[in-house]
Amino acid sequence: MAKLPLHTEFPSIQALREALQARRVSATEVAQSALDSIQSHAHLNAFLHVDADLSLAQARAADHAIASGADAPLAGIPIGHKDVFVTQGWRSTAASRMLQDYVSPFDATVVSRLLEAGAVSLGKLNCDEFAMGSGNETSIYGPVRNPWDHSAVPGGSSGGSAAAVAAGLLMAATGTDTGGSIRQPAALCGISGIKPTYGTVSRLGMIAYGSSLDQAGPIARHARDLLEVLEPMSGFDPLDSTSLEYCDTEANKPGRIRGRYNAAIAKQQKSGSRPLEGLRIGVPREFFDEALTPDVAQAVEKALQVFESLGAVRVEISLPRTELSIPAYYVIAPAEASSNLSRYDGVRFGHRTDSYTDLEDMTSRSRFEGFGPEVRRRVLAGTYVLCHGYYDAYYLQAQRVRRMIADDFRTAFAEHCDVIMGPVTPSVAKSIGDNREDPIADWLSDIYTLGVSLAGLPAMSVPCGFGVERPLPIGLQIIGNYFAEGELLAVADCYQQATDWHQRTPGQQ
């Protein structure tokens, strides 16, 4: 029987895969142990829906695939899905009363691709309602608790995914990143997470928040595990109009991300003791402003020094429109949310009020009862900026700023650096309820992640230290050029071979 938490016996997906293939443990045993551990960690509130029968059926199928020698790269690996991916069998609620009892008739593409790869789903993970939030406090099911400090938030909106992985309940989990919702919870929970280039992973079956921003990605303990999950998730989906069909035929081949990762690793190995020789790291001066707390700044600085010791060169750059990313994002994302959430009207599906006088009253009451305060706040803001007379002044202007933000990144990569590094969040995790009276404070915590999402670039978070006053995890953000996920993961892997922050577990600093 596997020991739990999973990482105590299997430090990586590769280690668990080898144990499964050698029959030292079965997928069914791993799944059952993980289900028992999920129950014992119910206080974290990370899971919203667990169905042991469904999970164990997938585990038995994985055992059969392993016994038959089938090529299933994730056969028997336990994962979980953020509750914005629709799933057959499990409820798909987006952590909202609006979809409280909804069960999808089909699987999201991300879910089906990971199932085809042999992964065993242990259930649906808590998140901010409709992925709107930065602390995982807007869920109708209550806040998720950070495994490092149960009084602290895990970050959002993919807080359930990050908390479950950090607590050792899963080897990996899916998340979504609209403005930082993979990178931020990964940073605050001391694990790794990557948001790939927009369009790399299918959005089909992902309950939409901001259609031009939402992107799926994995959360795991370290970079190599991210690669193991991101590869089968990725690829063109003809059923998703935002999915990218790469014009480069070589880039569109299966294994594209792994191939670029392997090429980067091979290049690093040739460089010997300085594996990142010549890598230019852009450090934006705008990321080190007065909002950044001293302990986070110090941890990021020490991480940059490690990269320099590995041969990288630090280059100071400027992303001059960083401060404009917050107003631009909080015009564009709510506008898209207003459009996407208009389908929830109490007529076709979703919550319908019990008491109403006519159709208009039914729709109004159903939406008021079904949506929580943060969702209502963003829908109202989005509806306002799309109104006649305000569309040009706000929405179109925000789109122009978005293009300029993307141009800043494009100039930096073309002229100055190969990757960009800096903090993920201005501080370590806040306590649950700290920002209850000031919801805008949550918006400000996304200052270092929003620009990447507006530009559609790939970026990831890796653990790089702990706070001083509050000894909670700190994350380093690594940003790459378009379609450079493989190289990003290789750079992160090199850093993680030189440090042990990703190996720390709750209760140990």
Q: What digits encode the pLDDT tens for the residues 345-390?
A: 999 889 999 999 999 999 999 999 999 999 999 999 999 999 988 9
**Model confidence at 75: pLDDT above 70:** yes
pLDDT confidence of residue 389:
86
On whether the CB atoms of residues 166 and 148 are closer than 8 A, the answer is yes
On whether the CB atoms of residues 409 and 319 are closer than 8 A, the answer is yes
Buried b / exposed e along 268-301 (16+ C-beta atoms within 10 A): beeeeeebbeebbbbbbebbbeebbbebbbebbe
Residue of 142, 135, 140 whose CA lies nearest to 158 = 135
Helix 27-40 to helix 13-21 angle, to the nearest 10 degrees?
130
Question: What are residue 302's phi and psi, to 5 degrees?
Answer: -65, -35
**Model confidence at 315: pLDDT above 70:** yes
User: What is the C-alpha separation between 426 and 438, in angstroms, rounded?
Assistant: 17
On whether the CB atoms of residues 288 and 444 are closer than 8 A, the answer is no
On whether the CB atoms of residues 223 and 489 are closer than 8 A, the answer is yes
pLDDT confidence of residue 7:
67
Single out the catalytic residue among 82, 124, 195, 430: 82
Q: Is-catalytic flag, 161?
A: no
Question: Mean per-residue pLDDT for 71-84?
Answer: 97
Q: Is-catalytic flag, 430?
A: no
Q: Is-catalytic flag, 157?
A: yes
The pTM of this model reads: 0.95
What does the block give as tokens for 75?
């056969």
Single out the catalytic residue among 104, 134, 161, 181: 181
Q: Which domains does the chain have, with CATH numbers?
A: 6-233 (3.90.1300.10)
**Contacts for 313 with CB less than 8 Å, ≥ 6 apart:** 278, 279, 280, 281
User: What is the C-alpha separation between 124 and 43, in angstroms, rounded?
Assistant: 16
Question: What is the bridge-based pairing of β-strands 473-479 and 419-423?
Answer: antiparallel
Residue of 108, 179, 84 whose CA lies nearest to 456 = 179
Single out the catalytic residue among 33, 55, 139, 157: 157
pLDDT digits (tens, 9 = 90+) for 384-435: 999 988 999 999 999 999 999 999 999 999 999 999 999 999 999 999 999 8
